[in-house]
Structure 1
Amino acid sequence: MRPTRPARRGAVVVAALAVTAALPAALPAAAVVDEPVTLSAPGAAVGLSPIGTHETGVFDESAAEIVAFHARSQRVFTVNADAGAVDVLDVSDPTSPTKVAAFVAEGAVSGDGSVVPAGASANSLSVREDGLGVVAVQSPVKTDDGWLVFFDATATAPVPLGAVRVGALPDMVSLSADGRWAVVANEGEPAEDFSVDPEGSVGVVALPRTVAVPAQDAVRIADFHAFEAEGALPEGVRVFGPILDEERRVSTNLEPEYVTVSGATAYVSLQEANAIAVVDLPSATVTRLLPLGWKDHGADGAGLDPSDRDGRIDIRTVEGLRGLYMPDTVEAFTSRGTTYLVTANEGDAREWGDYVEGARVGALGRNGLPPVCVDSPLAGLTGNADLGRLNVTLEDGLRADGSCYENLYSFGARSFAIWTTDGELVFDSGDQLEQITAQAVPGAFNSTHSATNLEGRSDDKGPEPEGLTIGEVRGRTYAFVGFERVGGVVVYDVTVPSRASFVTYVNNRDFSVSVEDDGVASLGAAGDLGPEGLTFVPQHRSPSGSPLLVVGSEVSGTTTLFEVTSLTGPSVDRRPGGGTR
């Protein structure tokens, strides 16, 4: 793997950040907690505050995942995987989002003659400006081909207009800005017992100009067959683990995760492969695979807290430890005429059948696993208070003869990063995300999402940045990044990509409530748990007249609207009883 360049860090020194709200002490009565945790940089230009929430009351069943906003109908559409539906929320009053309908894909007739059956799952959705909505739906047998199901977002109670068949496990769908294309990441995960492993692919669908269903022949599949030939796969694109079909080893191994579209090009994250696929939409062709390399956790400003058993916050550098970027969400934006990609570097391991990619460092050298090399700087760090509890991949870092691990590679980089469209690193947040959450929630640093604890995720992926979106406020461009585990959203100014800087962090969570310990009845009091999908609503489309951020949280089953306020002048407090502040 090629190493990435050292991280260029923002101008804000994390130690200088100001805590503007501490952990709340009392139980709030609703999912918008009484005192959201807030940490801001001195002179922050924007603020973020939760103003309204819709609660499903369903805990840890993915009842609120991916979200989309439609300006004309003033609605938010939220994927409710637990119900196998899309919840339709009226947000004309963003302080009081109200469910008005539910869209169910079951029964939709596809252009290939198939019908979406009961048990099919909605995974993602997107809505075009004119109201054409599209939902990515996986088959009840996830290794079978799935569908894109279309609906009219402006209808009082949306029903399926029809569907087209796409690849196996359509996991995420995105629309081009001009509305011409729907692009779907067909993840193609294996069966749980690894008896079947379908190809991963990217579906490219030419859309009609009206709110209507495209024909089946409008679907074309961009595959990875061109990278099967010897030498065709770029070095650093991870293809590994058991292979059922050697002739299709690359195509079945690559699992597209997330899609962003810029012009006539789509960029698709290949999370486990630690790469991004570049897709030309007019020809529906994967033109390039961009390996993302690794972060050096031994470099200054790029450390981590690797142990959940040392009883303290200890963010430090570790020579010989590397983090594979493994992005989940990828978004494109333009700065001064140049397109950049932003990634949330979550990390993920492959575990299918009897195959398990990861192991704790403390397990190396036992049960047939190679040990850490005795001449590695990591050799003396295998105790639980050091690296012993950290999960690392078994597929990278081995000495050429396979006898021992010279370097160790953890899952994800605990950061967000900005790249050129050629895959060159422009900015990485280093260890800032852990530094920020350590200051904001010192008693629940690296907590899990379903329970409140200290360092529950330090041995894995830390705060676990997963979802992100990009928005513009008063001529500045901001990245909003959600933390799946400890929760909350961090905001960075990315107007000048190489000098991205921290602005604020807000967590609509009450850490005095631990749902696993206090019971599901405490769910509403806990606030937002496990943010998954984020979407930005610009000021000119917002029902409130202020920019909004919509966040779906899969563990708490909540969809929360945040007001993005400019701190350069007075703004209106739109909460009940609010005034000018």
Structure 2
Amino acid sequence: MKRGIGGCAALAAASALLFVPQAASAATADETTDIQVIGINDFHGRIEANPGNGVAGAASLVGAVRQFESENPNTLFVSAGDNIGASTFTSFIQQDEPTMESLALGGLDVGVVGNHEFDQGYADLTDRVQPFYQQFSAEEGYGQDLTLGANVYMAGTQDPALSEYAIREVDGVRVGFIGTITADTRTLVSPAGISEIEFGDQVEAANRVAAEIADQVDVTVLLTHSGAEVSGDDAATCDEIANEQTEFGALVRDASPEIDAILSGHTHQAYPCTIQDRPILQTGSYGANMSLLDIAVDTATKELVSVNASLVPLVDEEAEELLFPAAEDIQAVVDAAVAFAAVQGNEPVGQISADILRGGEVPGDDRGVESPMNNLVADVYLWSTTEYAKYGGEPADLALMNAGGLRDDLLYASSEVGEGDGVVTYAEAAAVQPFANTLTTSELTGADIEQILEEQWQPGEDRPKLQLGISEGFTYEYIDEAEPGEHVQSMTLNGEALDPAATYTVTTNSFVSAGGDGFTGFNNGPARDSGLIDLETTVDYFAAHDVVDPAPLGRAAVYEEAEPTPDPTPSEEPTPAPSEEPTAAPSEEPTAAPSEEPTAAPSEEPTAAPSEDPTAAPSAGPTEAPLAPTGGDVTWGLGFGAAALMAAGIVLAARTRSRKA
């Protein structure tokens, strides 16, 4: 399909083009045929305009294409995949038919299949999606040309499962488009839905087809639903992309020289680069930008003269304004879809047992506290990446959910539409998570998880704490009033302490895994898109559970320091009670004079043996006054007593020396 567009006027209207020249023009304007290729990627059914969030909407997107077309008829409109899937409720509720209609009526010429085009399986793509597109064009094979896939084969063969390329002739110049898709698609959608097909190497497929069509085309553009992991328009970013050790990095380096430009997608990054003299672009996502290739071909020889590449913004996010007017016919399609969704939104999807609320005295006012809603959504995320039949990746260990991603509560009481108490409708489920984020899984260490939990505390910000919802089986203890990096005191998974060095699979949404809300710890490991959209998985979670209860609180618990071990309680009688009688009755008179060395160790025997005869024998008879001794008796008595005392002293001295020795 051919269109006319004018680049110069539209660029001025956009007011911000990032041109990255590939080569200086070697011919004058009169000697060249000038062609424009306008590209999008990862539109994901964002048909309603939301300029404050960088979404132009289908009507403004087509309006921009037509404005370019009005200046230069030699224009082609192409897509690098994921036009549908992971869509907002307005498109999702009609299986993305409003999105496909908007793009087809808007003149989409060629596209590559994205992983989300396989959300409902290969058969759905070939039996529903391709025929739906086809009804908007009389050109044979139009539906297949919007879902190219050169590296998609029938299982066990090298037989193409999809069209590999499409050729469009513009003012005598033949432009060939090759489509490839990330081989990771096999893990991004339900295995049951793609059992008939396989995904091969992109480089091999792209180069094989480029060689095959070389003599049929003058210019070759590769549309790949695969992309770099970084955004930016500076030389450092482009160097990083050129050296990326990824599937896309290999494609950038090893793609055949016959491929003149690469328009990419899948990773939702924005970069206008030139690598190995070849433009490499991605627009971001959701219609925030368009990619633009300005191609000059020698009119006489049909040799490529130059390719200039840029990104064209469609939205002024700061002013919250659209930069291009809406196409009226496309706006009519969008308005009809909005009206239909309003009715279908009243359809029931599940049952709850009680109110399920966000945090705060007024639910939703406080994102810094644990809430039943936040924990429930984390439970949904974990279920979606473990038990869900549509999930094709490795089972996750735990899931985290940001409070800012929750925009409504689920109330038990019936709403005014009369669905009944406890009934959850499509519209109510969609209002909780209105952003249509995809679920991602990341391989993170226990230390990474601790970092993410620490990042809940954001002092100096308008919201100094952003509490994460956490899934069942994971718990942690924290101290609010702590130094940065010291809030988290413990973490356990299914009763076992998290190992800081071990690796765990963590599920969250695409906003958080990209570092949104300041959770940069997710950047420590690359996020893998599960191919699942949050609203769809939530609806299916309700279908799988008869009644859904509010998730309990307490998974995040305030740390309570253990009570110190008390000292032994002293007994009421710390010292032995004295015996009622003295241990030994004191002698009526001291046996001997106190020792001159009181510090000596007590002897095992009494300090001094009692004299063999008492100093004075007690009287044996009745008390009578003794007779006065004669002088001779006294003298002999004194002498005998002195001798006895001297003998006792000698014995004591000998014993003392013996003990000291």
TM-score when normalising by structure 1: 0.25
Structure ranking higher in helix proportion? 2
Structure ranking higher in strand proportion? 1
